[in-house]
Amino acid sequence: MHFSEILHKVLRTSTSSGTSGSIVKVAPSILTVDFCRLGEKLDEAIEAGIDWLHMDVMDGNWVINRTITFGPEIIRSIRDRVGPEITIDSHLMITNAEETWDQYVNAGADLIICHIEAVEDFPTLIKKIHQSGAMAGCVLNPDTSEENVMEILPDLDLVLVMSVVPGKGGQSFIPEVEKKVRNIRKAIDSQVKNGGKTTKLMIDGGVKDHNAAMVSGWGIDIAVVGSGLINDRATIKENLESIYKSLET
């Protein structure tokens, strides 16, 4: 799939207008899925209306808890399962993203998201990802300033703000990232007003039905949701409906 086709797919599947108070798109993180039931849960998510999947790739080295999750072959299998219309992003929490990102594109990822804290030459990385036909995103950890992304913002397709520390499951949402999110939203809106790229803004970590409306009000386009969407208490459809119902209040 060429870059223009991927861009069209992402823009088509986005329900947000990119302004404060808009409805956010929900993208499930598959980390909370029982991998013995992965195919079943993917089918359930898509039947519930999900059209964006978030892949948390950890190499057992870069994240603080040394977790190893999965690699390109699992993503390839997921792509084969869900087909070409579903957007798949790969959030690379790894030490060698600059050397291995293309494996995830070849596996079927539409969007490669790398940590600014783990990449030495981000402008070159963005260029290479775009040349491959994929989209490029940048991640900021909770304690990383938004100023670190401003220079490359005009070339980014997405900025992901972490609202928990990467690699640690079951953490509470960090509300102090609000200022960072709002500042990035303001910069994106200014960029678009001046004819620049419509960079998407994503948040990941601790988002559930009780705080989804809050992050929507900050100007988030896409919210990654893990245990708040995929759990044993309710179906994915029921949890998704609960999240969107909270956005209407």
Long-range interactions of 40-45: CB distance < 8 A, separation 24+? 41/230, 41/236, 42/78, 42/81, 42/82, 43/81, 44/235, 44/236, 44/237, 45/230, 45/236
Residue 168's pLDDT band, with cuts at 50, 70 and 90, is low
- Which one is catalytic: 56, 59, 89, 209? 56
- Say how many domains are in the chain: 1
pLDDT (mean) for 77-104? 97
CATH number (domain holding residue 121): 3.20.20.70
Residue 77's pLDDT band, with cuts at 50, 70 and 90, is very high
Active-site residue, 80 included: no
pLDDT (mean) for 34-43? 96
At residue 169, does pLDDT exceed 70?
A: no
- Which one is catalytic: 51, 110, 204, 221? 204
Range of the domain at 170: 3-247
DSSP state of 177: G
| Backbone phi, psi, residue 66, to 5° | 60, 25
* 172-231 pLDDT tens trace: 899 999 999 999 999 999 999 999 999 999 999 999 999 999 999 999 999 999 999 999
Active-site residue, 143 included: no
At residue 23, does pLDDT exceed 80?
A: no
